[in-house]
A and B are shown apart, each in its own frame.
Chain A
Amino acid sequence: DIQMTQSPASLSASLEEIVTITCQASQDIGNWLSWYQQKPGKSPQLLIYGATSLADGVPSRFSGSRSGTQYSLKISRLQVEDIGIYYCLQAYSAPRTFGGGTKLELK
């Protein structure tokens, strides 16, 4: 199975700050990487698919990038509504695998 190593596990940042979360895949997964945001009591919401494509309705301050087997989610100017837990997901092969999650909090 493909392992997804996500970092950091938790992150405290100020409003308007730039935030970056990364996921390292254990093997080549191409661009088959999605990012999700989860808020308390809610199902995960898709932010980024195909490593770099913004899902419908997602603010443009979110962006995704890839360098080899390392993937990054960037929030350009943190807003209060961005607080939550973020997960990466590889959709290259079955079984699907998630990163361990990053809990983003306000400083």
Chain B
Amino acid sequence: EVQLVESGGGLVQPGRSLKLSCLASGFTFSNYGMNWIRQAPGKGLEWVASISSSSSYIYYADTVKGRFTISRDNAKNTLYLQMTSLRSEDTALYYCARLTGSSRDYWGQGVMVTVSS
């Protein structure tokens, strides 16, 4: 069974940093590109960042470029999102997801990040 389990969220003050993790299981993690998607309270889905299977290709949404860093450790089956200079508008539920466009696309349960003083 494929599982994506996010962790590392919480309450953080504006300007501070936070690192999210996503532990993958049930598939060969190193074969797939991965994504972070977020959803602010009461809002729609916003793609945040993606990374190819070997980390060769990385993309960021303009809203987080220069502040967030996506990375992965294929030996640990783990995806990361390092978030710095956090703003109130970064408050959201952050999902880790494998989005291939096939029947085998998977999402985690999400982890909440709240940026507030």
Contact = CB atoms under 8 A, between A and B. Distances in A.
B101 A43 contact: no
Contacts of A85: 44
Contact of A96 (B44, B50, B52, B102): B50
A95 B50 contact: yes
Interface of A: 32-34, 38, 43-44, 46, 49-50, 53, 55-56, 85, 87, 89, 91-92, 94-98, 100-101
Contacts of A56: 103
6 contacts: A44-B45, A46-B105, A89-B101, A94-B50, A95-B59, A96-B47
Given A43-B95, A87-B44, A100-B44, A95 B105 contact: no
Interface size classification for chain B: 20 to 34
Interface of B: 33, 35, 37, 44-47, 50, 52, 57, 59, 61, 95, 99-103, 105, 107-110
A73 B45 CA distance: 18
B99 A95 contact: no
A92 B50 contact: no
A34 B110 contact: no
Contacts, number: 56
Main secondary structure of the interface of A (DSSP, over half): loop
A95 B44 contact: no
Contacts of A44: 45, 107
Contact of A98 (B45, B50, B102): B45
A94 B33 contact: yes
A88 to B, nearest CB: 10
Contact of B101 (A38, A92, A98, A101): A92
Nearest to A38: B45
A96 B99 contact: yes
B38 to A, nearest CB: 11
A53 B103 contact: yes
A56 B52 CA distance: 26
A41 B55 CA distance: 31
A92 B101 CA distance: 8
A34 B105 contact: yes
